[in-house]
Structure 1
Amino acid sequence: MSHIEFALLSASVQSLSQNPSPMVESARPHLRIDPPVADGNREALTVGTLFVPGNFGGSEFVPIVVQFHGAFWLGEHYVSILMPEAVIVSVQLGPGSRVYNDVFEHPMVFTTMIKEVNEALAWVTDGYSRGGRIFLSSFSAGYGATRAILRNPEHYDRV
């Protein structure tokens, strides 16, 4: 018997001992929750979507949360509940941190985003509110944007 024939025979004998498999399928259903839809207004920005909670307080300086990657509805939901005086920008650019880095390595992208948020706040509050402290949040690949933004000293000082 050649080495090849022996290898093939051994492989077939080994697979026979697993047929039928001694493993028992005991999977249980993994139900998905319906994502909560937060009450508020959404406005498309050049990059991202601005969400102003329905219970928005509207102080003079409004905290801006910027969430990169991940479930947009989760950020909207929790900002509505825990920070109704804030707004959130959700940015979904695709898979991989490089996508986020490549967009936000250009400082004007973040500058433009904050400018657009300020314009929207002025419109919503008749000129009373503008952006205050900026909070960056990222999930998984979104760290590419966070790192790119924080490399810029001007942006670093604003966050």
Structure 2
Amino acid sequence: MGLSRIASRKSACGGNGRFLGRRLMWFICWVVVVCPSPSFAFATSPRMSMSAAAAGTTKPLVVVTGGARGIGRATCLLLASRGYDVAVNYQSNAEGAQSVVTDIESAGGHARAFQADVSEESQVTQLFDDVVKAFGRAPNGLVNNAGIMEPWLND
């Protein structure tokens, strides 16, 4: 199932069926790195498959910022369904991030939630240190989905 189909589902849109509800989302940066499917990456990149074998894993790891709701949630679920381990970053929605982790793990995937404000350099550094400690390896990719939500302007 494509990302656009997942993002259009009610569960990925905050439950109301409308994309991002009544708020205007300003994205800092939508996608920095979009990783190919794990089978493609390992079939075409000997370096990646050798490093994965050395680490004792066959799954690439991706960090998704802003992964607790909306497009970030859908991205986490999509990556997990394609065989990725997922580090779900959130700033303040711990319950939403834990829900994403629970959904991924109940489907047989591996995910962890990490709190960090990605507008603060020191917190980004700590985020990646925590991800490496938790998963035992550095991430293979990043989806930089964190954004700032502003209410619609009222006339």
Highest RCO, 1 vs 2 (Cα 8 Å, sep ≥ 6): 2
- TM-score w.r.t. structure 1 length? 0.34
- TM-score w.r.t. structure 2 length? 0.35
* Rg (Cα) greater in structure: 1
